[in-house]
Amino acid sequence: MTPDTTVRFVLDVVVHDVDRFRKLVASCVAVSNDEPGTLLYNWYLNEAEGTARLVEAYDSVDSVIAHIKGPVFTEFGPDLLTACTITKMDAYGDLGRLADGPEFWPTVQWGAPFAAIDPR
């Protein structure tokens, strides 16, 4: 059995401007859809509460790095962070060289699973 190299993130967000947030998230999803190694990039919005959640997964740390260097962070990220505030970020999986990432980096790092079902 091969080790699980996937990396997952769950972000909780407070939304300040729902319309702008929706437009910017749509752009992020369109870009992420075409990024190699992106397994999951799903946004959930509770408009009544003014909160959102992003659940994303990548096949490797290298794919996360490519995502960080791509348009989601460089083009849309700065505007997105004016429409919302990240309140919590959990990371799942071995972050390797990403463990000491940017200042917004995960508030909780869970590490690699100690027991799991591997669908491969």
pLDDT of residue 1: 44
Residue 50 predicted with pLDDT over 90:
yes
Residue-range domain boundaries for the chain? 7-109
pLDDT of residue 108: 86
Residue 99 — very low, low, confident or very high, per pLDDT cuts 50/70/90? confident
Architecture of the structural domain at 7-109: 2-Layer Sandwich (3.30)
> Mean pLDDT score of the chain, rounded to an integer?
90
Residue 102 predicted with pLDDT over 80:
no
- Residue 107's φ and ψ, nearest 5 degrees, are -80, -25
Residues 8 and 90: their CA atoms lie apart, in Å, by 8
Instruction: Output the pTM of the full model.
Output: 0.89
Residue 2 predicted with pLDDT over 70:
no
Which DSSP letter does residue 114 get?
S
Determine if residue 61 is left, alpha or beta; phi over 0 gives left, psi from -120 to 50 gives alpha, anything else beta.
alpha
pLDDT, one tens digit per residue, over 59-76 is 999 999 999 999 999 999
Please compute the mean of the pLDDT values over residues 30-54 and round it to a whole number.
97
% of the chain exceeding 70 in pLDDT: 90
